[in-house]
């Protein structure tokens, strides 16, 4: 009897010991990198994703959002590499910031490729978007869904800009992408790559004349307070966001949790895109109310910029992939 009782006790102890790791895995926390905080639509997309995952997993999966690129010490261009290596678990990221590692993402930075929101959707929701996701996956990151940072518009402290000639000699802050340098150099401007943290004091002192960013960034960051009196809505490029996961993290999840995580990303992305687009008119009105002179290009003025940057396509199409560029253009024309 004593032997039997001892055996039962040992069996129960072993069962408890084996159950502990399984129970510990029930709740998991993952880091999510994003460049902007939830004061901006970009950060709101990450927050919404975390909320949906928390709700649908009943608190079992926790996404902890780290804004302001703090997981890469503010260097947002290192985000993809850090994520691929496993230093970051997940991200809601800019196509611009990931483009140095995934050349296909430069598609969205081709000047004046996408004239409107329907053109963005034609690419991201079609076969071109699928090919871009495949390219990201091959680099070690699993893409789950699209979000949107919006069209990047031009502002400056000097003058109204409604034609390529107005950019001659204008000192403009641009993000860390060679394609951006080529575009602004082609237009005769004097582009300078710098972080946004460095750009704001440079705009204040007049070290640079202008910058390019989505309207939401211009508005929330109060760029008008650092001398930016003129804003041109030229829609020269759009920056979709990507919800992504480190491949090793993805493989560690069950099929059910993968589905939960991806569907939450899709829903968060759709929510953020709709919200961002819906708020644009109010954002623009608020910018105008603060005394900023807003220029909206006529079709003829827009075409002048398209013509002036044609040589950028000749240089960058082979790097991006001629087939992908052609497929994106066809999708836009058929929208």
Q: Quick: pLDDT tens for 276-317.
A: 999 999 999 999 999 999 999 999 999 999 999 999 999 999
More confident residue, 194 or 321: 321
Q: H helices within the chain, ranges in order?
A: 2-24, 41-56, 79-85, 95-98, 117-124, 127-138, 178-186, 196-205, 215-220, 247-252, 255-289, 299-308, 310-320, 322-333
Predicted confidence at residue 10, as pLDDT, reads: 42
Q: Rounded CA gap, 255 and 287, in Å?
A: 46
Predicted confidence at residue 56, as pLDDT, reads: 98
**Model confidence at 7: pLDDT above 70:** no
The mean per-residue pLDDT over the stretch 14-36 comes to: 67
CATH 3.40.190.170 applies to domain 27-333: yes
Predicted confidence at residue 176, as pLDDT, reads: 81
Angle of CA points 277, 282, 285, to nearest 5°: 130
Q: Rounded CA gap, 4 and 303, in Å?
A: 88
Task: Band the pLDDT of 195: cuts 50, 70, 90.
Answer: confident
Task: Band the pLDDT of 9: cuts 50, 70, 90.
Answer: very low
**Burial letters 282-303, b for 16+ CB under 10 A, else e:** ebbeebeeeebebbebeeebbe
**What average pLDDT does the chain have?**
93
Radius of gyration over every alpha carbon of the chain, rounded to an integer in angstroms: 23
């Amino acid at each position: 009897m004593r032997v039997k009782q001892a055996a039962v006790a040992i069996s129960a102890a072993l069962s408890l010991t084996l159950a502990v790791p399984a129970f510990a895995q029930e709740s998991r926390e993952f880091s999510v990198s994003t460049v902007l905080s939830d004061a901006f639509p970009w950060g709101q997309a990450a927050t919404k994703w975390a909320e949906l995952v928390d709700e649908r997993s009943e608190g079992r999966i926790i996404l902890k959002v780290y804004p302001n690129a703090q997981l890469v010490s503010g260097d947002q261009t290192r985000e993809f590499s850090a994520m691929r290596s496993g230093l970051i678990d997940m991200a809601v990221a800019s196509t611009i910031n990931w483009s140095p590692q995934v050349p296909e993402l430069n598609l969205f930075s081709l000047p004046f490729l996408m004239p409107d929101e329907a053109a963005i959707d034609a690419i991201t929701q079609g076969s071109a978007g699928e090919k871009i996701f495949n390219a990201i996956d091959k680099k070690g990151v699993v893409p789950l869904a699209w979000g949107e940072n919006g069209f990047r518009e031009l502002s400056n402290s000097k003058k109204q800009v409604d034609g390529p000639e107005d950019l001659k000699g204008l000192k403009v802050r641009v993000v860390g992408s060679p394609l951006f340098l080529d575009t602004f150099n082609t237009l005769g401007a004097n582009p300078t790559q710098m972080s946004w943290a460095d750009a704001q004091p440079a705009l204040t002192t007049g070290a640079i004349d202008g910058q390019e960013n989505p309207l939401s960034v211009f508005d929330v960051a109060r760029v008008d307070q650092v001398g930016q009196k003129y804003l041109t809505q030229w829609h020269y490029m759009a920056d979709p966001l990507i919800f992504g996961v480190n491949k090793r993290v993805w493989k560690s999840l069950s099929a059910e949790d993968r589905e939960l995580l991806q569907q939450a990303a899709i829903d968060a992305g759709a929510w953020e895109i709709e919200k961002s687009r819906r708020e644009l008119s109010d954002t623009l009105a608020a910018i105008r109310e603060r005394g900023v002179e807003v220029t909206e290009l006529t079709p003829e003025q827009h075409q002048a910029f398209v013509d002036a940057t044609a040589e950028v396509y000749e240089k960058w199409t082979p790097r991006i992939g001629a087939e992908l560029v052609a497929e994106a253009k066809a999708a836009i024309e058929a929208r």
